[in-house]
Structure 1
Amino acid sequence: MRELTPFNSALETGARTLAILAEAYPAAYDLQRLLYFDYLVVHSQDADGPESLHPNIPLRNGELLVRRGIIERGLLLLVSRRLVERIIGAEGISYRASDEAGPFLDCLQTHYSQLLRDRAQWAVEVFGVLDDDELKSYFDAHFERWTREFQAVRQPPEYFT
């Protein structure tokens, strides 16, 4: 039987996504924008922000590549609970916090929840003013740098014959 854990789950990413969307309200974000903001909230120190929520592990920028599906599942959970609204428009699907999002988040009283909301507020204040192209350019420019900084360099052992 598979062990269930809240870490790296739809529930965990859903909580972060809800904090981001509540802070950005009334703006609606698409999945790609939410992916960027999720990274910024979790690893805020990488973007010269406050201390990161999660440890600064090597190769964490790879999270951008694997987190999309988990964030999608978190959004489906939030939509099913009417905490987030799905908006279908000419430019595609985007998501916005519902009127119930703020009161729900106010019920979360843990230290982590407060840090999460603080990081979401910081990310939206700093990066929310960027349009999609500017945000993508920021990540493209920093992604390469982050890869160089956090990739473990392994050299083959020297053999003497």
Structure 2
Amino acid sequence: MSSPNSPSPFNSPLETGVRSLAILVAGFPTAFDLQRLVEMDYLVVHSGDADGPESLHVPLPLRAGELLVRRGLIEKGLILMMSRGLIQRTLGDDGFSYVACETAAPFISSLTSEYSRRLILRAEWAFSRFENVPTEEVRRITHRIFERWSSQFQSTHRAGSDQ
């Protein structure tokens, strides 16, 4: 059991960095900008909501706030993975993009836990499913998923209230 002062690996730069790395390895040699990684991360975590494999994480009622904090966490995760030589940031005409380095695929392949295997499969699914879909369209898809989920949660919450 961890103490209140010890950092948790969940919802941390480590977790989001490994997820981003799995996405970049699945899409190699494609480079992704930060916005695309944010959208892809959401789809990897909530793949079941996008008619994909069972979601990586259990659907929680408070996931609405995820979209608000996801970008910052992913950015920190990318910095962590860059500091370990697993991701490279490049500057192009459209700004910064991220691509997996040579050591990324062997690193991802070395992860053997059930969670890691599920993550890799979902990253591969998300990349193959959305590879040719423009980022703005992917954003519309994730927002529709979010809106559908939010309205279902609000309907359930109202039905269960005493008002």
TM-score (norm: length of structure 1) = 0.91
Paired positions, count:
158
SS of the equivalent of 2:99 reads strand
Cross-structure match for 1:10: 13
Which of 89, 113, 128 is residue 110 of structure 1 equivalent to? 113
Runs of 4 or more off by more than 4 Å in structure 1?
none
Cross-structure match for 1:153: 157
Q: Amino acid of the residue matched to residue 63 of structure 1?
A: E
Q: Are the equivalent residues in 2 in contact too, given 1:59–1:150 (CA < 8 A)? A: no
SS of the equivalent of 1:54 reads coil
Structure 2's unaligned 5+ residue stretches are: none
| Counterparts of 1:26 and 1:148, CA distance in 2 | 38
Worse overlay, 76-85 or 139-148:
139-148
| Counterparts of 1:2 and 1:85, CA distance in 2 | 31
CA RMSD in angstroms, aligned pairs only:
1.6
What do residues 29-71 of structure 1 show as CA deviations (whole Å, max 9, x unaligned)? 1111111111111111000111111111114232111111111
TM-score (norm: length of structure 2) = 0.90
Which one has a larger percent helix, Structure 1 or Structure 2? Answer: 2
Structure 1's unaligned 5+ residue stretches are: none
Which of the pair has more CA radius of gyration?
1
SS of the equivalent of 1:8 reads coil
Residue 77 of structure 2 is aligned to residue 66 of structure 1: no
SS of the equivalent of 2:52 reads coil
